[in-house]
A and B are shown apart, each in its own frame.
Chain A
Amino acid sequence: MFKLQRRSPGEALFDYVNVILMLAVCAITIYPIWYVLINSLNEGQDAMRGGIYWLPRKWSLSNYEAVFANSGIMTAMWITVAKTIVGTVLHVFFTAMVAYAFSRRELIGRQIYMTIGTITLFFSGGLIPYYLLIRDMHLLDTFWVYVIPALFSFFDLIIFLAFFRDLPAGLEEAAKIDGADDFKIFYRVIIPISMPVVATIALFHGVYQWNDYFSGVIFINKNTELQPIQTYLYRIVAQASSNQIAAQASGGITKTVTSQSIKLATMVVTTLPIVFVYPFLQKYFVKGFMIGSIKG
């Protein structure tokens, strides 16, 4: 169709300007991240002089060596990996299960259950009563504070519902004749055919778990070895405590490492997994986003 239309000079100009505009958006998006990356790959002392804009001046992996040699950072990293995997698997399974039950027309009390859920979208108790609840449940300073309060989300349930509604009804009947109960139908029949929506919610929740730092700030006070990497980074960024790490690191490794270079290297290590994963999941989240926004 494009070839059939003849572009007027004004339209051709518009196309060029538009391409330049879009390239500018991309540059502005990428450059701040690139800046962090090249500075983290430069020798720490040397980077203090500034002036590193396109490529590292003195290539060095010493910052990364210091990061990987630091037990505090590594522990926090493992906590993040564990909470992301455990939290996401359980969240997706639990929310999908409730959503499947809610999606069945014959469910007695369905209207009441939906109303109970809808109210939670518009009103909440707020931070302090929530904190007191977590405290009374003895979840403070435990790993499970990342998982149990994040087990379910009514908003995600709505996205699941929209998907389940469009499933052909015959599936359940066939499985029922074979003697399967509803729970079996859910995990043997429904889950395997719902992979697009499962992937979407898993991505959304996985990113939440990976990036969340606030739970660590308010719910982890004594057992600091339970804090995730984002909370750890928050404390470095907000309280500039990376001097300590640099001091620790300089004992074993080269003296060129600075608190700033350690911070940058930790930021890169924390971000890299997400940067690699999201382009592959793009088709899922775009679709899921649409379902969620149309119905929600």
Chain B
Amino acid sequence: MSTEAGYEVPLQKQLTHNKASFTRLLRKLYAQRYLQVMALVGVAWMIVFNYIPMYGIIIAFKNFNIIKPISEAPWAGLTHFKDFLNDDNIGYVIKNTIGMSVLKLIIGFPLPILFAIFLNELRPIRFKKSVQTISYLPHFLSWVILGGILATWLADIGIVNKLLLWLNVIDEPITYLAEPKYFWTIVIASDIWKELGWSAIIYLAAISSISPELYEASTIDGAGRFQKMFYITLPSIQGTIAILFILAVSGVMNSNFDQIFIMSNQLNESASSVVDTYVYKMGLQLGRHSYATAVGLLKSVIALLLLLTANYITKKLNDTSLF
């Protein structure tokens, strides 16, 4: 506070000045002691549950043994990272992680936007509200329930096989969840089914804040429904689309663990194993804690870099950014 004047003010005076401001700070702190306690319990929680695990990443560079504390584990340098790069599984783990995420992005990202725009064009208000309410429903079901539904539908006596047999598309029932080649399709389709309505909420909110004057003016200019959708609605929500796109792109390394964990099994492993489930399997099932932590760290770093890059690019293109 007194740094600028520090050179000219005599030492004695400066000390008393500092002392005075220190006392003032203490008095302020005392006055807001309840507020400080309320804030600091939150900070303490974050230090325990967010920052201690960040410190725990150190075991990626050590040979950690579960029965000894982290500090006693010997250093291992980059051994675990090298092991991962030489691992036979790395190919399909990375292919599955990025492949499913990119497909989700290409197919799953535009659909809620389209759904929101078309829903907005629906005229009877009550019908529109009902469609919206119904479309949220699957979001509130757990992935376990959805896993159960899928297992029922896709079983050899399930409705999908019955239908395809009846249509003569297939000759004999297929056990879809046991075959790797169907896994990606099942994951992407079920993800869209579950989240379409929920993801549309935010676009609907953005659409509803577009000024009605824009539509009125374009009506006078003779614009039709489609022209309004493409020249007014879509450009008006492009900021929202950009922000959600940044988030989606930067999440490419994050698979939906809850979803994939319940649908994967030993038979479809070559198509279902992603970084997150691989970390779980290596670390908690096989006890290779250091190795799994190294894999997880590699993923977090790439995800962070992706986020920063996506944010930078969108900022350049669009004047919209997250931070």
**Physical interaction between A and B:** yes
Interface residues of A (CB under 8 A from B): 2, 5, 8, 10-11, 14-15, 18-19, 21-22, 25-26, 28-30, 32-33, 35-36, 39, 48, 50-51, 53, 94-95, 97-98, 100-102, 104, 106-110, 113, 116-117, 119-120, 122-133, 149, 151-152, 154, 157, 181-183, 186, 207, 210-214, 218, 230, 233-234, 236-238, 260, 263-264, 267, 270-271, 274-275, 278-279, 282, 286, 289-290, 293
Smallest CB gap from A97: residue in B:
B38
Which of these, A95, A131, A237, contacts B262 with CB under 8 Å?
A: A237
Closest-CB distance, A231 to chain B (whole angstroms): 8
**A-B contacts besides A33-B141, A97-B41, A131-B283, 17 pairs, CB < 8 Å:** A14-B121, A22-B119, A36-B149, A50-B162, A53-B159, A94-B42, A98-B38, A106-B35, A124-B50, A128-B292, A132-B70, A186-B38, A212-B142, A213-B144, A214-B257, A214-B261, A237-B151
**Among the listed stretches B2-10, B51-59, B180-188, B312-320, which one makes contact with chain A, having 4 or more residues with CB under 8 Å of it?**
B51-59
Q: Supply 18 A–B pairs (Cβ within 8 Å), ascending by A.
A: A11-B225, A19-B127, A30-B137, A33-B141, A35-B153, A101-B36, A109-B39, A113-B39, A125-B55, A125-B57, A126-B57, A127-B284, A128-B56, A133-B49, A149-B49, A238-B265, A263-B148, A274-B141
Given known A128-B284, A129-B54, A275-B140, contact A154–B46 (CB-CB < 8 A): yes
Interface residues of B (CB under 8 A from A): 25, 28-29, 32, 34-39, 41-43, 45-57, 59, 66, 70, 115, 118-119, 121-123, 127, 130-131, 133-138, 140-145, 147-149, 151-153, 157, 159, 162, 193, 196-197, 201-202, 205, 219, 224-226, 257-258, 261-262, 265, 276, 279-280, 283-284, 289, 292-293, 296-297, 299-300, 304, 307
Which of these, B53, B118, B261, contacts A18 with CB under 8 Å?
A: B118
Which of these, B157, B205, B283, B284, contacts A290 with CB under 8 Å?
A: B205
Cα–Cα, bound, A238→B267 (Å): 12
- Are A130 and B53 touching (Cβ within 8 A)? yes
Closest-CB distance, A178 to chain B (whole angstroms): 15
Which of these, A14, A48, A183, A234, contacts B144 with CB under 8 Å?
A: A234
- Are A279 and B36 touching (Cβ within 8 A)? no
Smallest CB gap from A95: residue in B:
B42
- Are A101 and B193 touching (Cβ within 8 A)? no
Given known A8-B224, A36-B152, A101-B38, contact A128–B32 (CB-CB < 8 A): no
Closest-CB distance, B71 to chain A (whole angstroms): 13
Closest-CB distance, A119 to chain B (whole angstroms): 8
Q: Which residues of A contact B299 (CB under 8 A)?
A: 126
Closest-CB distance, B313 to chain A (whole angstroms): 17
Closest-CB distance, B69 to chain A (whole angstroms): 9
Q: Which residues of A contact B307 (CB under 8 A)?
A: 122
Closest-CB distance, B196 to chain A (whole angstroms): 8
Cα–Cα, bound, A211→B142 (Å): 5
Smallest CB gap from A98: residue in B:
B42
B interface: dominant SS: helix
Which of these, A19, A94, A110, A129, contacts B56 with CB under 8 Å?
A: A129
- Are A126 and B52 touching (Cβ within 8 A)? no
Closest-CB distance, A39 to chain B (whole angstroms): 7
Cα–Cα, bound, A117→B46 (Å): 7
- Are A279 and B133 touching (Cβ within 8 A)? yes
Smallest CB gap from A289: residue in B:
B201
Query: Which of the listed residues A119, A182, A207 has the most CB atoms from chain B within 10 Å of its own CB?
Result: A182
Which of these, B42, B48, B131, B201, contacts A102 with CB under 8 Å?
A: B42
Q: Which residues of B contact A98 (CB under 8 A)?
A: 38-39, 41-42, 45
Closest-CB distance, B205 to chain A (whole angstroms): 5
Closest-CB distance, A278 to chain B (whole angstroms): 5
Cα–Cα, bound, A71→B140 (Å): 26
Task: Sort A-B residue pairs by CB-CB distance and give the 5 closest, nearest first.
Answer: A125-B53, A129-B56, A98-B42, A211-B142, A126-B296
Which of these, B39, B261, B296, contacts A107 with CB under 8 Å?
A: B39
Q: Which residues of A contact B55 (CB under 8 A)?
A: 125, 129
Given known A108-B36, A152-B42, contact A127–B224 (CB-CB < 8 A): no
- Are B122 and A22 touching (Cβ within 8 A)? yes
Smallest CB gap from A104: residue in B:
B35
- Are A14 and B225 touching (Cβ within 8 A)? yes
Cα–Cα, bound, A289→B204 (Å): 11
Closest-CB distance, B39 to chain A (whole angstroms): 4
Closest-CB distance, B30 to chain A (whole angstroms): 11
Smallest CB gap from B54: residue in A:
A125
- Are B46 and A293 touching (Cβ within 8 A)? no
Closest-CB distance, B29 to chain A (whole angstroms): 6
Q: Which residues of B contact A274 (CB under 8 A)?
A: 140-141
Smallest CB gap from A186: residue in B:
B38
Smallest CB gap from A278: residue in B:
B140
